[in-house]
Structure 1
Amino acid sequence: MAEPIRVVVTGAAGQIAYSLLYMIARGEVFGKDQPLILHLLDIPPMVGVLEGVVMELSDCALPLLRKVVPTTDPLVGFKDVSAAFLVGAMPRKEGMERKDLLSANVKIFKVQGEALDKVAKKDVKVLVVGNPANTNALVCANYAPSIPRENFSAMTRLDQNRASSQIANKLGVPITHVSNIIIWGNHSSTQYPDASQGKVLINNEWKSVADALGDNAYLEGQFIDTVQKRGAAVIAARKMSSAMSAAKAACDHMHDWWNGTAPGKFVSMGVFSDGSYNSPKDVVFSFPVEIKNKQWKIVENLSVSSFGQTKLDLTAKELQEEKNEALSVLDSN
């Protein structure tokens, strides 16, 4: 068997981590032959809950799980890790403005970036789940200059999964029969869920989603609206934010980053923009990517309609504003 790798989950006593830790420890992300040492990082008030999580992981008797390291010290949490799931963040509550969320989280991700820089492996893959994920990833990378910027990404896979499932349900096909649905921009209500490149398998034949549906008004209206507001709808129903689906999406994101994407298939990841598709450079922007040898690459030369470009411009503007605001919060500290 391979040598164990170290994987950290922050906010390890929280809702998302409760599902996520089990999925990781079962081998659903890094493979069924990859032993793991799990680092569980949380804040001091959560130590009691964290102890319970450690007990449960032990009681699961998971063959791949060699050791669990619970801690409140970022320098212990990030020590020698190969992969990091940054889940811990100030949670969004009903009615909370994103700007309030931003200033609280900037401070958290500065500390985590500094710790990653000092003690993590230099090829560590860092996935930011905690919201506002795109700008938190930007801040984190900013404080870890010795780790390549392309090793930081923000999760928009939950939005992609939501969008894909909307299409699958609308067409009455299994989720495995839908591919290449794109999320552009920010993991927020300005994101652009785009089915224009989407493919669907119907009667053993791959067709474009647009042709299969024949309902452009839906794709440019209700479909986008539903995906953009799904997080808020879950909060309204559960009185808590998405947890199980967020954990599954984090696993999907890291699995594909680690293992690669199938030929012709692409996935959505928030990554540092190089200006592709008229996006602003140096913000963390969700693009369609293909992954090979643990390296992502933005899918180039996809056609974007004038309707789509308007949506891209809107989410780009929000990300630029968030970036400026995050930097001003950091400058004032």
Structure 2
Amino acid sequence: MEDCQLKPWMLRQDWREDRRPWLLVDLHSWPADEPLGPLPPVPVLAVGPADHRQAARADILVEDTIPLATLTAGIAQTPRAAATVAQLLRATENLPPERALPLESFAMAMLQSGAEHAAWLARQPRTIPLAPGTLHLRRVGATLHMLMDRPASYNAIDRAMRDALYEAFSLPLLDTDIAHVTFRARGRCFSMGADLAEFGTTLDPVEAHAIRARTLPTHPMAQRAEIFDIHVHGACVGSGLEMAAFAGRLTAAPNAWFQLPETGMGILPGFGGCVSVPRRIGRQRAAALMLSGRRIGAATALQWGLIDAIVDEPAADDGGTNMLGG
């Protein structure tokens, strides 16, 4: 770790020739009055007391939940993606969602055309897309119930489901009498994220960004996020988590677990997660979750503020609250 140690004088150097994928700050020895910044264009990890005056400036304040070795291993696997995530989270930390989401998409488009993502795609076995699912909707008074129903694919979000979500999430914008939206999923888990069978099908990153600008469901969702009530169970991964984190109220079953694995694929959480997740748990923990790819359980998610409560609600298959329920 010594060769990655960041010293105060280094912040005044020219970073053009520096190839280290990450830098480490030891807050035990860093002077409290010495500004930690401007930061270099790679993730800056900090160890030491959280009440240090410069602690909040680092990209990640290392905690026991996700150890330093796990973080550095993730960064070393895809350093370009990791650096992009760190810089994006810095830039969008104080922006409203409608301004931050396009920046996330720009960064995603860049990484989609990069060597790290291409190498990940080349390692993936060919898979046959499963049948599309259904997004069930039911209006009861001022409440709109939604049920994601694609259990054979673990509720993976394909293009058809993405488009259905966009249309459904747009309804509260068109009908302001909708005051409450519940969202549940059928099957063993909430969602395993984006459908991997569709990765790499849009080769032009400019077109990929244009598609997200028109069809990303979290664009309309973010405009009335406070009325959404989402409950997750089992796996809540990738785009499933990115979407759920926007909700005004997000609860989880005791068996729920959460993961953002995209950086290991050479990309980033591009379904709104670089905007929604930091606004729930802060930039530093969001970066730790993204750069490590580590899973966390419901208890940690509650401690961090990623979810609002652990609720032992029956799954939709077992008669839990959903679009069919009262």
Q: Same fold (TM over 0.5)?
A: no
For the aligned pair, the TM-score class normalised by the smaller chain equals: under 0.3
Structure possessing the higher radius of gyration over alpha carbons = 2
Which structure features the higher share of strand residues? 1
Q: TM-score, normalised by structure 2?
A: 0.25
